[in-house]
Amino acid sequence: MEIINIIQGAISLLLILALAPMLVGIVNKQKAVFTGRIGAPILQPYYDLKRLFRKETINANSSSMISRISPVINIVTVILAAAMLPVGFAKPLISFNGDIIVFAYILGLARFFQILAAMDIGSSFEGMGASREATFAVFAEPIFFFTIGSIAFISNYTSIYDIYQSIRLDNLSFIIFIIVCSTSVSILAITECSRMPVDDPNTHLELTMIHEVMILDNSGIDLFLYQYSSYIKLAIYAILETSFFYPLGVKNYPLGLLIFIVIILFLSVALALAETITARFKLKSIPQYLLFATAIGILNLLIYTFTK
Amino acid sequence: MENVLSILFCLSLFYLAITLRLRTYVTFLRMQGILLSVLLIFPFINHFSVHALIIPAILFVVKVVLIPKYINKIITDMDIRKSIEPTIQQFSFLLIVIFTMILIFLGSSVLSKSTDIAPIPFASGFSAIVVGLYIIIFRKSLIVHVVGFLVLENGIFLFGLSVASEMPMLIEIGTLLDVFVVVFLMGIALNKISTTISGSDATALRRLKD
Amino acid sequence: MLELTLLLILPVLATLICSLIKSFRLQYAITLSVAGLHLLTSFAIFINILQPTLPYFFSTDALSKLFILVLSNVYFWVVLVSYSFLKKDVPLKGQRSKKYYFALLNFYLLANSIAILSNHFGMYWVATEATTLSVAPLIYYYRNKESLEALWKYLFLVSIGIALAFLGILFLTLSAKGGVLEGKQLFFSEFVRQAKSLNPVWLKASFIFIFVGLSTKIGIAPMHPGDVDATSNAPSPIAALMSGSLRVTALLGVLRIFQIVRFTPTYDFARLILIIGGVLSLIVTFIFMFKVKNYKRLLAYSSVEHLGIIALGIGTGGIAFIGALYHIIYNSINKIVLFLSAGNVHLRYKTRQIDGVSSALNILPWSGWLLLLAFFAISGVPPFGIFFSELKIFEGILFSENPWLLAMVMFLLLFIFINMGKKIFLMLYRKDDNLVVNTEKEKFDISHFVSILLLVILIAIAVFSPDVLSKNILAIAKDFGVKL
| Torsion region of B103: left, alpha or beta (phi above 0 gives left; psi -120 to 50 gives alpha) | alpha
- Chain A hits for B119, CB-CB cut-off 8 Å, are 306-307
Task: Please say whether the beta carbons of C125 and C186 come within 8 A.
Answer: no
**Residue-level pLDDT at B151:** 92
Task: Please say whether the beta carbons of C247 and C217 come within 8 A.
Answer: yes
Contact A296 B14 (CB under 8 A): yes
Q: State which amino acid sits at residue A180.
A: V
Closest CA to C250 of C279, C268, C277, C288: C277
From residue C137, alpha-carbon distances to A131, A134, B65, C25, C246 in Å are 57, 56, 25, 21, 15
**Average pLDDT of chain B to the nearest whole number:** 80
Distance from CA of C160 to the nearest CA of B (A): 7
Which range is least confidently modeled, A46-55, B81-90, B145-154, C170-179?
Answer: B81-90
Contact A302 B105 (CB under 8 A): yes
Q: Omega before C91 cis (within 30°)?
A: no
Closest CA to C379 of C315, C428, C346, C422: C422
Alpha-carbon gap, residue C155 to A295, rounded angstroms: 34
Contact C229 B208 (CB under 8 A): yes
**Residue-level pLDDT at A251:** 64
**Residue-level pLDDT at C172:** 84
Its ipTM equals: 0.89
- Determine contact: A302 vs chain B, CB below 8 A: yes
- Chain A hits for B1, CB-CB cut-off 8 Å, are 172-173
Distance from CA of A142 to the nearest CA of B (A): 13
Task: Please say whether the beta carbons of C451 and C340 come within 8 A.
Answer: yes
**Residue-level pLDDT at B85:** 58
Alpha-carbon gap, residue A289 to C238, rounded angstroms: 50
Closest CA to B86 of B158, B3, B25: B25
Given a cut of 70, is residue B62 above it in pLDDT?
yes
Cβ count within 10 A of residue B46: 6
Distance from CA of C182 to the nearest CA of B (A): 9
Task: Please say whether the beta carbons of C65 and C117 come within 8 A.
Answer: no
Given a cut of 90, is residue A78 above it in pLDDT?
yes
Dihedral sign (CA C167, C170, C172, C177)? negative
**Residue-level pLDDT at C306:** 92
Alpha-carbon gap, residue C358 to C360, rounded angstroms: 5
- Best of B1, B12, B14 to substitute, by most chain A Cβ atoms within 10 angstroms, is B14
| pLDDT (tens digit per residue) in A185-227 | 999 998 888 888 888 777 767 666 788 888 888 888 999 999 9
Instruction: Using CA coordinates, name the residue in chain C closest to B206.
Output: C149
Alpha-carbon gap, residue C293 to C291, rounded angstroms: 6
**Residue-level pLDDT at C90:** 65
**Residue-level pLDDT at B127:** 92
**Among candidates C133, C153, C185 on the partner chain, residue whose Cβ is nearest the Cβ of B182:** C133
Dihedral sign (CA C436, C441, C446, C452)? positive
Contact B3 A307 (CB under 8 A): yes
Could you state, in chain order, the average pLDDT of each consecutive group of 10 residues for chain C (484 residues)? 70 81 82 86 80 72 86 90 77 70 88 87 88 88 82 89 89 75 69 78 88 90 84 88 90 89 85 90 90 89 92 88 90 91 85 82 84 90 87 88 86 91 88 73 80 87 83 84 73
What does B56-78 look like in DSSP terms, one character per residue?
A: HHHHHIIIIIIHHHHHHHHHHHH
Contact A180 B11 (CB under 8 A): yes
| More confident site: A46 or C86 | A46
**Residue-level pLDDT at B99:** 92
**Residue-level pLDDT at B65:** 87
Distance from CA of B83 to the nearest CA of C (A): 22
Contact B106 A295 (CB under 8 A): no
- Determine contact: C166 vs chain B, CB below 8 A: yes
**Residue-level pLDDT at B166:** 63
SS3 A249: coil
Cβ count within 10 A of residue B111: 16
- Determine contact: C14 vs chain B, CB below 8 A: no
* Helix residue spans in C47-177 (DSSP H): 62-87, 101-117, 121-139, 145-175
Q: How many CA atoms lie within 13 A of C9 on its CB side?
A: 7
Q: What's the distance, CA B147 to chain centroid? A: 7
Instruction: Using CA coordinates, name the residue in chain B closest to C133.
Output: B182
SS3 C58: strand
- Determine contact: B76 vs chain C, CB below 8 A: no
- Determine contact: C197 vs chain B, CB below 8 A: no
For chain A, the chains sharing at least 3 beta-carbon pairs closer than 8 angstroms are B
Cβ count within 10 A of residue C372: 19
| More confident site: A272 or C86 | A272
Q: List, as ranges, residues 98-117 from B with C-beta within 8 Å of A.
A: 98, 101-102, 105-106, 108-109
- Best of C114, C146, C148 to substitute, by most chain B Cβ atoms within 10 angstroms, is C148
- Best of B127, B185, B193, B206 to substitute, by most chain C Cβ atoms within 10 angstroms, is B185
Contact B207 C145 (CB under 8 A): yes
**Residue-level pLDDT at A106:** 92
Given a cut of 80, is residue B55 above it in pLDDT?
no
CA angle A187-A189-A191, nearest 5°?
75
Confidence at A229, pLDDT banded by 50, 70, 90: very high
Chain A touches chain C, with at least 3 Cβ pairs below 8 Å, answer: no
Distance from CA of B56 to the nearest CA of C (A): 19
Cβ count within 10 A of residue C409: 20
Closest CA to A308 of B13, B158, B120: B120
| pLDDT (tens digit per residue) in A131-171 | 888 998 898 888 988 888 888 888 788 888 878 877 777 77
**Residue-level pLDDT at B142:** 82
- Determine contact: A176 vs chain B, CB below 8 A: yes
Cβ count within 10 A of residue A73: 19
- Chain B hits for C140, CB-CB cut-off 8 Å, are 189
Chain A touches chain B, with at least 3 Cβ pairs below 8 Å, answer: yes
- Determine contact: C202 vs chain B, CB below 8 A: yes
**Residue-level pLDDT at B157:** 86
Instruction: Using CA coordinates, name the residue in chain A closest to B98.
Output: A295
Nearby residues of A133 by Cβ (< 8 Å), 6 or more positions away: A111, A114, A115, A118, A210, A211, A214
Buried b (16+ CB within 10 A) or exposed e, C255-293: bbbbbbbbebebbebbbebbbebbbbbbebbbebbeebe
| pLDDT (tens digit per residue) in B93-117 | 888 899 999 999 888 888 877 777 7
- Determine contact: C293 vs chain B, CB below 8 A: yes
**Among candidates A294, A295, A299 on the partner chain, residue whose Cβ is nearest the Cβ of B7:** A299
**Residue-level pLDDT at B168:** 65
**Residue-level pLDDT at B210:** 58
Alpha-carbon gap, residue B123 to B108, rounded angstroms: 6
Contact C129 B178 (CB under 8 A): yes
Given a cut of 70, is residue A276 above it in pLDDT?
yes
Alpha-carbon gap, residue C240 to C89, rounded angstroms: 19
